[in-house]
A and B are shown apart, each in its own frame.
Chain A
């Protein structure tokens, strides 16, 4: 193997020289339409719209669910052909939007990612106007940016307190008495006395999900990582209170530290060592499918309040549908989502019983309030939770979620700082105060200042 430094350097110099002399290196950096003021989507004005749309969904259960709704949609709009694709959205969406080639008409996207793509998306304020008053405020807020709305809100994911009722009863702990996080701490202490090798409360060990859960707690208090202008607001009494609570759980040995549904998590959940799981509604998948010994023992209730009388739920996760400006038939894609979200036949098809979820889609509830009617359940009681009427619990919790602020474009990037520092606090190497100060500095320099 022979490499001559000279020839390598020569090539490098040649490359740089070419760039500088020619003053142009490669394709032009233009991207999408740029700052066109007219970025607001309008509904189509034809009576019988026709054409083809391409819709991207994430592989898995939801893809199957949406796939099954297309037939219903075609009953109403027979001339719109839906090409439905299961796509690795995380790897492909950004590149597709930047290049603007073969852009889909509609994409399923996690809420925390919407703002980051806003430059490429239709502002949906006009088409959503008839519905905004009936959409959960939190979902509208997270999809908003500078006065525009960039996603069709899909699901509301209320945080609930999942608890192992059988285990708690055996230990003489009455879960129904829990109303505040102080009560929860006390219940955990009582349970720990009865079952000394337990760590009753779940402490999330994955940095990303830990930060997502932190935002659920914050959402209960009507705050979030940044305000509507994008300024950080970690340094606040609310975050101090939340981090203080988590720190207490950790320091007093009241927690089980594990990644969401990892082996450790599943084993401790299923052996009565972990009995409180404050999480989004989609945790119900565990008692339904994964927990064999304790399936049927689990129940859900509203989250405890941070102070008596406070909101009993906050949002954790959730998704929306975005419509890229470079899509060919954005107007028709809007009709598709309008049907799925706001037409009774549509949302019934999404949430009602289907081949994937025989009892209905029970891992979230609709964010469209008329669809989330406590008296008209769309999904059935959950067997893994002793046939509890989860719909009633979740819709009641969902109503209490305070409005929120837009999720900043850099939210996922903040996991490297806030998410990691939170874990360090649970390790015992940082105090709540240090988490706030350090994360604030790091996020400001590495994320906000570089936008």
Chain B
């Protein structure tokens, strides 16, 4: 911590005020984090402990719970549908995150350029899906992607392509859902990346230009490396969001067809609607551990290259 600048010449006064400040500085952080800690203990830790205990029991919401040890965990870990739900989320992640980050980065670069007109308009336009209630959009999605009479397939037909069962085949339902999720969240990612871009010193580009670097090379050799941390931050945020994804399959596909859009979050919800609360709790902890490991992995990856 930086040394204080001494302006007063009375040593006793300095000592006394220093001591008081030191004491304040020791106590202050505890006071400052106290409200958060209180809320955290009351509404996160306490219910989490309950969930943990619940995960070792069989309980359907009434009567006494039966202790089953690791029964719920072994049931899940040996159950193909648990792994299928994790795989579904994994595939959705692959469909969403890389493409979304790339598109968002390109758009952010364009919006960061002083030569682009209407930047304020575009920023607002791209964030609108993020603030629109999902339930209203779900209806539109179902209609747009109808197999025989939807606008998307009508467009394909114009190009001489056959109809696609967007929401009725397990092969296409994931991309369709991924598109909805990307549509809803890309605006937010654009803004986050924009914030990273703004922190790059313009002088770096000027120097590169003088050296004759093309915009394409500048993008790969300056922009991408310099916003890598911001990108990683966005990737971690989106990873959390994709593995917790619940509302999108809930309102559009109800996890179908054939469970192909039963995400990790939706699978967990299924236990809860069946009042199989012990299994639901165990599933929660498996999911938390997995997501945590994944996030730590990304951070490791990031730091290894720093």
| A residues lining the B interface (CB < 8 Å) | 1-3, 5, 8, 15-16, 18-19, 24-27, 29-32, 34-35, 90, 94, 97-98, 116, 119-120, 205-208, 258-259, 262-264, 267-268, 410, 412-413, 416, 420, 423-424, 446-447, 450-451
Chain A residues near B259 (CB, 8 Å)?
A: 416, 420
Chain A residues near B262 (CB, 8 Å)?
A: 416
Question: Does any Cβ of A come within 8 Å of B77's Cβ?
Answer: no
Q: Of B62, B81, B232, B302, which contacts A446 at CB under 8 A?
A: B81
Question: Does any Cβ of A come within 8 Å of B155's Cβ?
Answer: no
For this complex, 29 residue pairs linking A to B, each with C-beta atoms less than 8 Å apart, are: A1-B232, A1-B233, A3-B299, A8-B292, A15-B49, A16-B52, A25-B52, A26-B50, A29-B53, A29-B54, A29-B57, A31-B61, A32-B62, A32-B63, A34-B62, A94-B272, A98-B275, A116-B274, A119-B60, A207-B256, A263-B143, A263-B146, A263-B150, A267-B149, A268-B148, A412-B274, A416-B81, A416-B255, A447-B274
Contact A31 B299 (CB under 8 A): no
Question: Does any Cβ of A come within 8 Å of B220's Cβ?
Answer: no
Stretch among B22-30, B40-48, B124-132, B197-205 lining the A interface: B40-48
* Chain B 45-77 near chain A by CB (<8 Å), digits 1 or 0: 111111111100111111111000000000100
Chain B residues near A207 (CB, 8 Å)?
A: 256-258
Q: Of A25, A263, A410, which contacts B274 at CB under 8 A?
A: A410
* Bound complex: CA A60 to CA B123 (Å): 38
Considering only CB atoms, which chain B residue lies closest to A2 in the complex?
B299
Contact B53 A26 (CB under 8 A): yes
Chain B residues near A208 (CB, 8 Å)?
A: 254
The 7 closest A-B pairs by CB, nearest first: A26-B50, A25-B49, A31-B62, A263-B149, A263-B146, A119-B62, A25-B53
* Bound complex: CA A27 to CA B302 (Å): 40
- B81, B257, B295: most-surrounded residue (chain A CB, <10 A): B257
B250 to chain A, nearest CB (A): 10
Question: Does any Cβ of A come within 8 Å of B296's Cβ?
Answer: yes
A93 to chain B, nearest CB (A): 11
Chain A residues near B233 (CB, 8 Å)?
A: 1
Chain B residues near A90 (CB, 8 Å)?
A: 273
Considering only CB atoms, which chain B residue lies closest to A94 in the complex?
B275
Question: Does any Cβ of A come within 8 Å of B142's Cβ?
Answer: yes
* Bound complex: CA A30 to CA B57 (Å): 13
Considering only CB atoms, which chain B residue lies closest to A429 in the complex?
B258
- Majority SS at the chain A contact face: helix
Contact A27 B50 (CB under 8 A): yes
Assuming A16-B52, A26-B50, what are 18 further A-B pairs, CB within 8 angstroms? Answer: A2-B299, A3-B299, A5-B296, A26-B46, A34-B64, A94-B272, A98-B62, A119-B60, A120-B62, A207-B257, A258-B148, A259-B168, A263-B150, A412-B274, A416-B255, A420-B257, A450-B75, A451-B60
Chain B residues near A420 (CB, 8 Å)?
A: 256-259
A212 to chain B, nearest CB (A): 14
Q: Of A263, A413, A451, which contacts B270 at CB under 8 A?
A: A413
* Bound complex: CA A451 to CA B278 (Å): 11
Chain A residues near B146 (CB, 8 Å)?
A: 262-264
* Bound complex: CA A451 to CA B149 (Å): 42
B199 to chain A, nearest CB (A): 15
Contact A94 B296 (CB under 8 A): no
Chain A residues near B150 (CB, 8 Å)?
A: 263
B201 to chain A, nearest CB (A): 21
Number of cross-chain contacts by CB at 8 Å: 115
Q: Of A1, A8, A24, A29, which contacts B65 at CB under 8 A?
A: A29
Given A29-B59, A30-B64, A413-B270: A264 touches B147 (CB 8 Å cut-off):
yes
* Bound complex: CA A31 to CA B61 (Å): 6
* Bound complex: CA A8 to CA B294 (Å): 13
A231 to chain B, nearest CB (A): 19
CB under 8 Å from chain A, chain B span 282-298:
292, 295-296
Contact B299 A19 (CB under 8 A): no
Chain A residues near B57 (CB, 8 Å)?
A: 29
Q: Of A3, A29, A94, A262, which contacts B142 at CB under 8 A?
A: A262
* Bound complex: CA A258 to CA B79 (Å): 31
* Bound complex: CA A165 to CA B221 (Å): 71
Contact B50 A97 (CB under 8 A): no
Chain B residues near A1 (CB, 8 Å)?
A: 229, 232-233, 236, 299, 302
Contact B75 A35 (CB under 8 A): no
Chain A residues near B147 (CB, 8 Å)?
A: 264
* Bound complex: CA A26 to CA B299 (Å): 32
Given A26-B47, A208-B254, A413-B270: A267 touches B148 (CB 8 Å cut-off):
yes
Chain B residues near A32 (CB, 8 Å)?
A: 62-63
* Bound complex: CA A90 to CA B272 (Å): 12
Contact B63 A119 (CB under 8 A): yes
Chain B residues near A119 (CB, 8 Å)?
A: 60-63
B306 to chain A, nearest CB (A): 11
Chain A residues near B239 (CB, 8 Å)?
A: none
Contact B258 A34 (CB under 8 A): no
Given A19-B53, A29-B65, A267-B149: A450 touches B279 (CB 8 Å cut-off):
yes
* Bound complex: CA A263 to CA B143 (Å): 7
- B233, B273, B279: most-surrounded residue (chain A CB, <10 A): B273
* Bound complex: CA A267 to CA B65 (Å): 51
Chain A residues near B232 (CB, 8 Å)?
A: 1
CB under 8 Å from chain A, chain B span 134-164:
142-143, 146-150
B287 to chain A, nearest CB (A): 14
* Bound complex: CA A424 to CA B260 (Å): 13
Considering only CB atoms, which chain A residue lies closest to B236 in the complex?
A1
Given A29-B64, A451-B60: A94 touches B50 (CB 8 Å cut-off):
no
Contact A15 B50 (CB under 8 A): no
Given A15-B49, A267-B148: A98 touches B61 (CB 8 Å cut-off):
yes
Considering only CB atoms, which chain A residue lies closest to B258 in the complex?
A420
* Bound complex: CA A98 to CA B280 (Å): 15
* Bound complex: CA A167 to CA B149 (Å): 22
